Amino acid sequence: MDRKRVGILIFDDVEVLDYCGPFEVFSSVRLDEARRREESSPFDVVLVAGTMDMIATSGGMKVLPMVPFAECPPLDILVVPGGRGAHREMKNEAVLGFVRRQAEQGGIVASVCTGALVLGEAGLLDGLRATTHWRSLDLMRELFPGVRVETAFQVVDEGKILTSAGISAGIDLALKLVARGFGDAIARATARQMEYPYPEDDARRIQIDVQDRRQP
């Protein structure tokens, strides 16, 4: 089986579910549910970071990267999560360069939550629609005036570039990419295995009160 290579970026103060949600989706996929225990996922998922040093997530979880930037091969999909650390990493030239290179090599680049700010700083959102965590929508407008910021969607699909809303939206994002690669039935079976409600459309799950859109 020719597996699709997925890299999920991690960094200090990354939001746990931002990266673990997509990791679980991609690693849970099976093309033959009857052989779930015998078969592997058609996605080969790795955690990528600037170095192999241990990462401390936003909640204190400690995690080790699986491959450093310097050794990371071209990816079919790169997922950029958010969290407090994303505000720092959006100014990290090593991170921005890595994200740009993956985009230039033709793979899909997707973000979860405030990972969209990293994509914006890397210049990947110019002229596109995009979204992020509801608390950072106004910040995205301020920082990236060339981006059409969407408030009504859980996932915004612009072909090779996808962005998603906050935290749990990374699961919806990953399921969309599973459906793109292997069809709706496989994506639905994956969601069922996870006991997660399959997103029937891209509508945002929460009502956003304009008065509450304040940067944390």
What distance in Å separates the CA atoms of residue 105 and residue 7, rounded to the nearest whole number? Answer: 14
- Is 20 known to be catalytic? no
Whether the CB-CB separation of 16 and 90 falls below 8 Å is answered with no
What distance in Å separates the CA atoms of residue 149 and residue 160, rounded to the nearest whole number? Answer: 17
Phi, psi for 52 (deg, rounded to 5): -95, 10
Element containing residue 93 per DSSP (H, E): helix 93-104
What distance in Å separates the CA atoms of residue 176 and residue 90, rounded to the nearest whole number? Answer: 25
Give the tokens for residue 61: 């979880």
- Positions of E strands within the chain: 4-9, 43-49, 55-56, 62-63, 67-68, 77-80, 108-111, 129-130, 148-149, 155-158, 161-164
Q: Which of 113, 116, 178, 186 is catalytic?
A: 113
Phi, psi for 48 (deg, rounded to 5): -115, 140
Give the tokens for residue 19: 């990266």
Catalytically annotated residues: 113
